[in-house]
Chain A
Amino acid sequence: MIKVIYNGEVRETGCSTLLELLKETGVVKDDPRSLFGIAVGVNDEMVPKSRLDQYILRENDRIEIFTMIAGG
Chain B
Amino acid sequence: MDLKDQNALAIGKYSFSSRLFMGTGKFSSSDVMCSAVKASGTELVTVAVRRAKFGGYDDILQPLLKTGVRLLPNTAGSRVAKEAVYAANLARDALETDLIKLEVHPDPRYLLPDPVETLLAAQELVKQGFTVMPYCQADPVLCKRLEEAGCACVMPLAAPIGTNRGLVTRDMLEIILDQASVPVVVDAGIGAPSHAAAAMEMGADAVLVNTAIAVAGDPVSMAGAFADAVRAGYAAGKAGLGKSSLYAVATSEVDDFIAHLED
Task: Report A's interface with B, CB cutoff 8 A.
Answer: 7-8, 27, 36-41, 44-46, 48-49, 64-72
Which B-chain residue is minimally distant from A71 (CB atoms)? B48
Q: A53 vs B140: C-alpha distance in the bound complex, in angstroms?
A: 47
Q: A39 touching B60 by the CB < 8 A rule?
A: no
Which B-chain residue is minimally distant from A47 (CB atoms)? B93
Q: A36 touching B61 by the CB < 8 A rule?
A: yes
Q: B60 touching A70 by the CB < 8 A rule?
A: yes
Contact of A68 among B26, B73, B86 (CB under 8 A): B73
Q: A39 touching B94 by the CB < 8 A rule?
A: yes
Q: How many B residues are at the interface, by size bracket?
A: 35 or more
Q: A47 vs B47: C-alpha distance in the bound complex, in angstroms?
A: 21
Query: Looking at chain A's contact residues, is the secondary structure mostly helix, strand, loop, or mixed?
Result: strand
Contact of A46 among B27, B93, B95, B162 (CB under 8 A): B93
B residues in contact with A8, CB < 8 Å: 51
Contact of A66 among B24, B52, B74, B161 (CB under 8 A): B52
For the complex, is B216 an interface residue (Cβ under 8 Å from A)? no
B198-213 toward A: CB 8 Å interface, digit per residue (1/0)? Answer: 0000000000101100
Q: B50 touching A69 by the CB < 8 A rule?
A: yes
Q: B74 touching A72 by the CB < 8 A rule?
A: yes
B residues in contact with A37, CB < 8 Å: 59, 61, 94-95
Q: A8 vs B51: C-alpha distance in the bound complex, in angstroms?
A: 10
Q: Output the least CB separation between A15 and chain B (Å).
A: 17
Q: Output the least CB separation between A28 and chain B (Å).
A: 13
Contact of B90 among A36, A66, A72 (CB under 8 A): A66
Which B-chain residue is minimally distant from A26 (CB atoms)? B54
Q: A71 touching B47 by the CB < 8 A rule?
A: yes
Q: B47 touching A70 by the CB < 8 A rule?
A: yes
A residues in contact with B162, CB < 8 Å: 72
Which B-chain residue is minimally distant from A45 (CB atoms)? B86
Which A-chain residue is minimally distant from B60 (CB atoms)? A70
Q: Output the least CB separation between A35 and chain B (Å).
A: 8
Q: B25 touching A72 by the CB < 8 A rule?
A: yes
Q: A65 vs B52: C-alpha distance in the bound complex, in angstroms?
A: 6
B residues in contact with A41, CB < 8 Å: 86, 90
Q: Which of B39-78 contact A (CB under 8 A)?
A: 46-52, 54, 57, 59-61, 71, 73-74, 76
Q: B49 touching A46 by the CB < 8 A rule?
A: no
A residues in contact with B26, CB < 8 Å: 70, 72
Take A7-B51, A7-B52, A46-B90 as given contacts and tell me if A68 and B61 are in contact as well, using a CB distance cutoff of 8 Å.
Answer: yes
Contact of B24 among A7, A48, A70 (CB under 8 A): A70
Q: Output the least CB separation between A71 and chain B (Å).
A: 3
